[in-house]
Amino acid sequence: MKEDPDVVCLYIPLMKELGMSWGDIQSLSKSELNGILLALNTYNIMHSFDGYNSKSIGEMSKNDPSVSTRYATYREVRERMESKVGIKRKMPEGFKNSLGIK
């Protein structure tokens, strides 16, 4: 097999990460394969910072500034996907409501 971008960027990740066989890959169209790979990439981004809090992200960003960029992408993708499935973030109540003043 020659050096082919499709093999490196598409087939290998599908076989390795999703456990797809060569027969599975051959039975799907290229657009279906690209869609699956895009979904896998989105999944990986959505779960790339699971288990970390804002403080630990800030500490890691001191040593590697690219962490803050990747974390921003993670937050953006996660919020977009959560809004698509209908998960609503709890908005701040406001100062008066939190004190019980109406």
Six-digit token pair at 102? 């109406």
Q: Where are the domains of the chain?
A: 1-46, 49-87
Q: pLDDT > 70: what percent of the chain?
A: 82
The percentage of the chain sitting over the pLDDT mark of 90, rounded to a whole number, equals: 29
Q: Is 74 helix (H, G, I), strand (E, B) or coil?
A: helix
More confident residue, 94 or 82: 82
Statement: residue 1 has pLDDT above 60: no
- pLDDT of residue 102 exceeding 70: no
Cβ neighbours for 13, distance < 8 A, ≥ 6 positions apart: 37, 40
Phi, psi of 76 (to 5 degrees): -65, -50
